[in-house]
Structure 1
Amino acid sequence: MNVLVSLVFQLLLEIWRRIIKENPRCSYQAIEKIADYYRSGAGKQQTLAENRQAFYKYKIRPRCLRNVENVDLSTTILGEKISMPIGIAPTAMQKMAHPLGECANARAAQELGTIFTLSTLSTSSIEEVAEAAPQAIKWYQLYIYKDRNITRDLVIRAEKAGFKALVLTVDAPVFGLRLEDLRNKFTLPSHLRLANFQGIKSGMNTERDHESGLNNYVTSLFDSSINWEDLKWLKSITKLPIVLKGILTAEDALLGVQAGVAAIQVSNHGARQIDGTVAAIDALSEIVKAVGDKIEVYMDGGVTDGVDILKAVALGARMVFIGRPALWGLTHSGQAGVEQILNILKKELITCMAIAGFSNIKEIDRNLVVHENYYSKL
């Protein structure tokens, strides 16, 4: 995926040029903080590396002579037909990457006929994104806050704006130890805002010794006491399907099924919560096996090319979401950059599917992929 690698290497340069042009007094240190926020993980960042490396442990068993002249990537997710099983995961504060931020990212998803997930911590509001990409399939990621009225109001706004699902992040009762952010005392740049929280007081734009503004924000609003009963409350205030994001065990996946959620998104929060957790792709099989065909299962984390996507689909992911790659494309050239990333992944997936002997994404099954240990046991 040489083009994507090239875009990643241009990330810092493009951020520097854009922010310094808009704010000549902006320092190199401020730019470095933004780049560190996007690219870093928790702790020693072992899980951040393993999210990518774990894909190498799965080997493809291609089939031959199967007529792959026409490859079809289209599928159905929560009843909505989409062009391919590649969607955009929620990532925060995208106007740090490009002036149009989340609106440009959503337009790219609209253009490619796939799903865009808007982060609660966005720098474009629910309403702004809905207006910018009215035809896009949009999901809204949220947390359950200490003040339940905040969560209720966000849900009502998302419903009114035409969002199709709620993605409840459940792996962040407290924020992980993101050492780069703590070292940098990361704060949202002063010219930006958390667009969905106008008028709500938080610590996002303040610094304290040994803390980051983001950590202050989390402490002020997030509720570390949430449990499965709060999921019942969320279901009682909305008719939108709920996707549980951040599940890594069969036990929690089954509790989600019992609670009546529509889907599970296998994820370790981009390796930003606990360093040392299982890679998302390694947790996928366990969860798919546990829930069977009761609900849909998706995954995110460490995906960098079409081969990764093919492996995830073979292991049971109905949908694969990307976070950082979309940010790199956004930083490089806005909507066009995100579209380029999605098109690269799409082309790679089509090519890999054809070589592996599959012409329809829905026909891919577990037999296509084995763990590397499979061959040592023969």
Structure 2
Amino acid sequence: MTSVPAPGPASSPMCLADLARAAEAAAPGAVWDFIEGGSGRELSLAANRAALDALYLVPRVLRDVARPDAGSRLVRSSARMPVAIAPMAYQRLLHPDGELATARAAKTAGVPFTVPMFSSVTVERVAESGAALWFQLYWLRDRGVTADLLDRAEAAGCRAVILTVDVARLGRRLRDLRNGFSLPNGVRAAHFAEERASAPRRLPDGSLDVRHYVDTFNPSVTWSDVAWLRERTRLPLVLKGILAPQDATEAVTTGADAIVVSNHGGRQLDGALPAIEALPGVREAVGDACEVLLDGGIRSGIDVLKSLARGASGVLLGRPVLHGLLAGGEDGAERALSLLRDEIDDALALVGCRHIGDTAELRLTRLPV
């Protein structure tokens, strides 16, 4: 497989779904499946959307919403809307500029960008974008490599570290297995030496050589390791991948500054609770002790407001940014964020909220089945 050539700008998308259609038309099938696929039967992938669609806002009226204000502050970073870009690996698979293009789009939109640990562009290079950067870590078997990546993120000016905690092992992603998916030449994990950065090889039966992941991720990680990380950095610490209220409470005890309620976009445990359904329990468990962000299924400004009304401080945006990148490079990613901002402003006015903080007063309901 060869890398995808840089496409031209997406033609006049009116919503994020338009960008998704343009991206699907531009992508080889295996690449599209890599972006869109989940694990197993993709129950959790579908449930993320179904759970958001099942919720309905109860708008207020006569509230003077002439100038809605979406400005927010997420994990000590200013943001023009309550959105940050989620960590997503190997973005040069979709466009030659990869993470650098996405970070530039985030800079233009005024939102934080999370540099993935498996970025195809180094954090030092991404920092040249001038965006507000967060840095993602997985817990590696080699703690020294983890510490080195943390040092590099701090030196590059990253403002927070996100530890993804729901990958003791990689979920079984059937689309990729059936496609025999592997990274093309020229796309690699830029933060690692060549021997670590290469894609997992295929076995004769077409399955992935799981030793690649066994050698990378540490399934023995516990809360004591998180406590070590907390002591190791002065950056705000965010734990991504929490669904259980008990784990949320433990995260606060261990020193987390924020939690991302997430089922990994339906790519880990198939059958895991949708993030929007787990959110109220997590928020109740931690109260105001830390920020609570939501990740999973966000496709519109209305989805953002539903998340805030259900207890989130903000959201992480994932696949729609990749759709924009694939459909139009930096311009496409910027268009995705611009569309979302316009939708948030519209939704704020129509639901009767002048400021983002007012969304905490909104009511949500479900229609009878």
TM-superposition CA deviations, 1:106-159 (whole Å, max 9, x none): 00110111110111111111111012x12x111011111001111011000000
Counterparts of 1:284 and 1:205 in 2: how far apart (Å)? 34
Q: Deviations over 1:290-311 (max 9, x none)?
A: 1110100001101111111110
Deviation at 1:163, TM superposition (A): 0.4
Shift of 1:206: 2.0
Q: 5 Å matches for 1:35-50?
A: 35-50=32-47
Counterpart selection for 1:9 from 2, 21, 28: 21
* Residue of structure 2 aligned with 1:292, choices 287, 290, 304: 287
- CA shift at 1:217, angstroms? 2.9
Equivalent-residue separation in structure 1 for 2:228 and 2:92 (angstroms): 32
Contact 1:204–1:214 (CA under 8 A) maintained in structure 2: no
Q: Is the 8 A contact 2:190 2:197 kept in 1?
A: no
SS class of match (2:15): helix
Please give the alpha-carbon distance, in whole angstroms, between the structure 1 residues aligned to 2:117 and 2:205.
25
Change (3 A) 1:371 1:167: same
Post-superposition Cα deviations, 1:46-75, rounded to whole Å, max 9, x if no partner, equal 111111111122121111111100100001
Q: Which amino acid aligns with 1:247?
A: I
What is the letter of the counterpart of residue 52 of structure 1? R
Report how far residue 12 of structure 1 moved.
3.5
1:197-236 equivalence runs, <5 A: 197-201=192-196, 204-210=199-205, 215-236=210-231
CA-CA distance at 1:32 after TM superposition: 2.5
CA contact (8 A) 1:248 1:266 kept: yes
Residue type at the aligned position of 1:87: A
SS at structure 2 position matched to 1:10: helix
Give the gaps of 5 or more residues in structure 1: 16-30
Q: Secondary structure at the match of 1:365?
A: helix
Q: Which runs of 5+ in 2 are unaligned?
A: 1-12
Following superposition, the deviation at residue 229 of structure 1 comes to 0.7
1:359 aligns with 2:348: no
SS in 2 for 1:297: strand
**Within the alignment, does 1:188 sit opposite 2:183 as a pair?**
yes
CA contact (8 A) 1:245 1:264 kept: yes
TM-score in terms of structure 1 length: 0.91
- Is it true that 1:174 corresponds to 2:186 in the alignment? no
Q: Deviations over 1:63-118 (max 9, x none)?
A: 11111001000011222221110221011100111110000000011011111011
Distance 1:207 1:216 in 2: 11
- 1:3 maps to amino acid: C
- Report Cα offsets for 1:238-293 as digits up to 9, x if no partner: 11111000001101000001001100000110100011111111111111111110
2:83 match? 86
- How far the C-alpha of 1:199 sits from its partner, in A, is 3.9
Quote the RMSD (CA, aligned, Å).
1.7
Q: Secondary structure at the match of 2:114?
A: strand
Against the structure 1 CA distance between its residues 307 and 232, is the aligned structure 2 distance closer, same or farther, given a 3 Å change threshold?
Answer: same
**Contact 1:204–1:216 at 8 Å: present in 2 too?**
no
Identity of aligned residues (%): 39
CA contact (8 A) 2:238 2:258 kept: yes
Name 1:53's counterpart in structure 2.
50
The question of 1:123 aligning with 2:120 is answered: yes
Q: Which residue of 1 aligns with 2:325?
A: 330
Partner Cα distance (2:162, 2:207) in 1: 25
Once the two structures are TM-superposed, the CA of residue 203 in structure 1 deviates from its matched residue by 5.9
CA contact (8 A) 2:137 2:164 kept: yes
Q: Does the aligned pair in 1 maintain the 2:14–2:339 contact within 8 Å? A: no
**What is the CA–CA distance in structure 2 between the aligned matches of 1:2 and 1:166, rounded to whole Å?**
34
Task: Name the one with the larger helix percent.
Answer: 1
- Contact 2:59–2:362 (Cα < 8 Å) also in 1: no
Contact 2:103 2:113 in 1 (8 A): yes
The equivalences for 1:333-348 within 5 A come to 333-348=328-343
SS in 1 for 2:25: helix
Distance in 2 (CA, whole Å) between partners of 1:75 and 1:8 is 27
Separation in 1, partners of 2:210, 2:89:
14
Say how many residue pairs are matched. Answer: 357
User: Contact 1:202 / 1:221 at 8 angstroms: preserved in 2?
Assistant: no
* Offset of residue 214 of structure 1: 7.8
Matches within 5 A, 1:53-72: 53-72=50-69
C-alpha deviation, 1:185, in angstroms: 2.7
Q: Which amino acid aligns with 1:249?
A: A
Q: Please give the alpha-carbon distance, in whole angstroms, between the structure 2 residues aligned to 1:205 and 1:189.
A: 12
Per-residue deviation, residues 305-331 of structure 1 (Å, max 9, x unmatched): 111111001111111111100000000
Farther off after superposition, 212-221 or 354-363: 212-221
Task: Determine which structure has greater relative contact order: mean sequence separation of CA pairs < 8 Å that are 6+ residues apart, divided by chain length.
Answer: 2
Contact 2:189-2:197 at 8 Å conserved across structures: no
Amino acid across the alignment from 2:84: G
Aligned to 1:108: 105
| Equivalent residue letter for 2:81 | M
Equivalent position of 1:153 in the other structure: 148
Q: Is the 8 A contact 1:117 1:139 kept in 2?
A: yes
